Chain A
Amino acid sequence: DSGVTQTPKHLITATGQRVTLRCSPRSGDLSVYWYQQSLDQGLQFLIHYYNGEERAKGNILERFSAQQFPDLHSELNLSSLELGDSALYFCASTQGTSGYTFGSGTRLTVV
């Protein structure tokens, strides 16, 4: 157990739908990062939150959004889902700049 908890582990949904992925960081970590892992794009940085505030955006689609709550857990919202959004979504947390701790991911399948 890495200490970073992601739920759900698996999600199957239809095109056009909206889903929410949840991440609880390691105790004491203020930063949460979201990544998407797909066969064609590899691991792509989506967004970074620090202590409730958005700090950096990567290749995140406008249909996707995220937030970090006062208790530091984070949610990634994916809407108007397309087949191409099927991927593994990871969150990671860290205290500084010397490496993340990753969660075990949410596997999203859009049918």
Chain B
Amino acid sequence: AQSVTQLGSHVSVSEGALVLLRCNYSSSVPPYLFWYVQYPNQGLQLLLKYTTGATLVKGINGFEAEFKKSETSFHLTKPSAHMSDAAEYFCAVSDHRSGYSTLTFGKGTMLLVSP
């Protein structure tokens, strides 16, 4: 069975500060990993994904994440937070063995950005 653990239900940063949202996963197969963002009263939007290849992946809005197999981690970072980054962020792992993609999500981390 797959699982995702997101450390910290809430993370607070100041505008311009580094954003670091932590994600650890458990998977019995080489994982596909995703980060999604959810703004209030909206659906989830894909930020970035790791499937194969380069372990540092860049996404939209200046976010990036690094797949570290030895640490079973896929932490999300952004060098400088903007007020518009305030949202809930979800890490997910995919079970793609069947050729389809059932995602298991973490509980989410609410990012709060203060001026």
The minimal Cβ–Cβ distance linking B44 to chain A, given in whole angstroms, is: 4
The size class of the interface chain B forms with chain A is 20 to 34
Of chain B, the residue at the smallest CB distance from A91 is B43
Q: How far is the CA of A102 from the CA of B103 in the complex (A)?
A: 12
Residue A96 lies at the interface, judged by CB distance under 8 Å to chain B: yes
The DSSP consensus for interface residues of chain A is strand
Q: How far is the CB of A50 from chain B (nearest CB, A)?
A: 7
Cross-chain contact of A96 among B44, B46, B101, B108 (Cβ < 8 A) = B101
CB-CB < 8 A to A4: which residues of B?
A: 43
Say whether B67 faces chain A, with CB atoms less than 8 Å apart: no
Question: Which of A12-20, A40-48, A69-77, A78-86 lies at the interface with chain B?
Answer: A40-48
- Is A48 a contact partner of B100 (Cβ separation < 8 A)? yes
Q: Report the count of interface residues on A (CB-CB < 8 A).
A: 25
Distance in Å from the Cβ of A44 to the closest Cβ of chain B?
A: 8
Among A45, A50, A103, A105, contact of B103 (Cβ-Cβ < 8 Å): A45
Select B102's contact among A2, A33, A105, beta carbons within 8 Å.
A33
Among A4, A43, A94, residue most surrounded by chain B Cβ atoms (within 10 Å): A43
Give the complex CA separation of A88 and B100 in angstroms.
23
- A-facing mask of B24-41, CB < 8 A → 1, else 0? 000000001010100000
The answer to whether B49 and A48 have CB atoms under 8 Å apart is no
Complex Cα–Cα for A60 and B8 (A)? 28
**Which residues of B are found within 8 Å of A97, using beta-carbon distances?**
32, 51, 94, 96, 99-101
Most buried by A among B32, B36, B102, B104: B102
| Contact present for B101 and A98 (CB under 8 Å) | yes
Chain B residues near A50 (CB-CB < 8 A): 100
Known: A99-B34, A102-B43. A48 touches B102 (CB 8 A): yes
Interface residues of B (CB under 8 A from A): 32, 34, 36, 42-46, 49, 51, 90, 94, 96, 98-108
Interface of A with B (CB < 8 Å)?
Answer: 2, 4, 31, 33, 42-43, 45, 48, 50, 55-56, 58, 90, 92, 94, 96-105
